[in-house]
Amino acid sequence: MIKKILNNPENSVDEMIDGVVQSHSKLVKRIPETGIIQRSLEKTGKVAIISGGGSGHEPAHAGFVGKGMLSAAVCGAVFTSPTPDQILEAIKAADEGAGVFLVIKNYSGDIMNFEMAQELAEMEDIKVDSIIVDDDIAVEDSLYTQGKRGVAGTIFVHKILGYAAEQGQSIEEIKKLAEALVPNIKTVGVALTGVTTPGSNEPSFTLADDEIEYGVGIHGEPGYRREKLQSSQGLSEELLTKLLKEFDAKAQDRFAIIVNGLGGTPLMEQYVFANDVHKSMKEHDLVIDFSKVGNLMTSLEMQGLSLTLLRLNEAFYLEALEAPVDTISW
């Protein structure tokens, strides 16, 4: 059984949110009685970018709230979409008059609730638009998803749209940007262990002592293959080959990458893996212009990692990724 540092498991998300806003009170605040973490900034009339979803993926999404990224994050229960009324509340609180743009990971519950909130907000004359992120190429359709799942690549969407909003782009421009951007982001992961949600006694799945599973989702959804633990180099080859197939990449194509720890994997292993990815990319005659390594979109204490590639076919993407922000976790 996994030991956890919690009080009543039912209150974990609530207490976590209080922990976040008390620890970073200059950056963020909580809208009382809600799961919404909002920027502490004065409003400047720009488009507000909102994301959110089930909790358990920290620092996503609250860690990316702040100047230059998200205006607010809506935190649902663990691995559970926030309700439409919570999302509506976030939209109303974040709107600065220029409209609100929603970044939604592709899970059926999230899509249903975010879209309902969008309709409700539009009825209150708030301009709202949205993008669905479906970067996980591991499998088509899954436990909670039609199509492909939304995972760590979502962080690149936050960063690039956040920069566009900060630059004063309109909601129409941001929509166009998002639609061009998302198809250029692909992710695939590997799990070494399962994940146990607070209050439950059993992990969502188990792997043998020498076994891994490729393509597991960030809620423990099934992947595409189990096999014996590989070397970091072997894992990097597997994930990279799968990703590059999707891109139809040409020599000297330029990329940004995320090596994303799933929660329980130490940074040392993430950097050993990052080293193998950099080596392999060079061997493929591909260029990495930007790297992010760390626990960004986690699955509680799951051991494993994911690799995200973003093809930098617009100079704006790299400019956006490199711009400084003021958040807890970027």
Q: Order the strands of the 211-214 sheet from edge to edge.
A: 225-228, 211-214, 185-191, 304-311, 254-261, 287-294
| 96 belongs to the binding site for a copy of itself (CB under 8 A) | no
Query: Which tokens hold the place of 295?
Result: 């626990």
DSSP element (H, E) containing 13: helix 12-23
The residue among 1 and 315 lying less far from a copy of itself, judged by its C-beta, is 1
| 267 belongs to the binding site for a copy of itself (CB under 8 A) | yes
Q: Which of 237, 226, 144 is nearest to 192 (CA)?
A: 226
| 259 belongs to the binding site for a copy of itself (CB under 8 A) | yes
| 212 belongs to the binding site for a copy of itself (CB under 8 A) | yes
Span 45-84, contacts to a copy of itself by CB under 8 A: 55-56, 58-59, 63, 78
Active-site pick, 24, 61, 158, 219: 219
Span 136-195, contacts to a copy of itself by CB under 8 A: 192-193
Closest contact distance (angstroms) between CB of 279 and a copy of itself is 9
| Residue position matching structure tokens 């609730």 | 113
| Residue position matching structure tokens 């090596």 | 259
Closest contact distance (angstroms) between CB of 219 and a copy of itself is 14
The one-letter amino acid code at 105 reads K
Query: Annotated catalytic, 61?
Result: no
Compute the distance between CA of residue 111 and CA of residue 109 in angstroms, rounded to an integer.
6
The one-letter amino acid code at 282 reads K
What's the residue count for the chain? 330
Closest contact distance (angstroms) between CB of 146 and a copy of itself is 28
Tell whether omega for the bond before 59 is within 30 degrees of 0, i.e. cis.
yes
Count of residues interacting with a copy of itself (CB under 8 A): 63
Helix, strand or coil for residue 305? strand
Which x/- pattern, by CB under 8 A, does the window 283-302 give for a copy of itself?
-----x--xxxxx--x-xx-
Closest contact distance (angstroms) between CB of 237 and a copy of itself is 12
| 276 belongs to the binding site for a copy of itself (CB under 8 A) | yes
Backbone phi, then psi, for 164, in 5-degree steps?
-60, -45
Closest contact distance (angstroms) between CB of 207 and a copy of itself is 8
Compute the distance between CA of residue 30 and CA of residue 51 in angstroms, rounded to an integer.
15
Active site residues: 57, 219
* Binding footprint of a copy of itself on the chain (CB under 8 A): 1, 3-7, 12-13, 15-20, 22-24, 55-56, 58-59, 63, 78, 192-193, 198, 209-210, 212, 229, 231-233, 235, 259, 263-276, 278, 288, 291-295, 298, 300-301, 303-305, 329
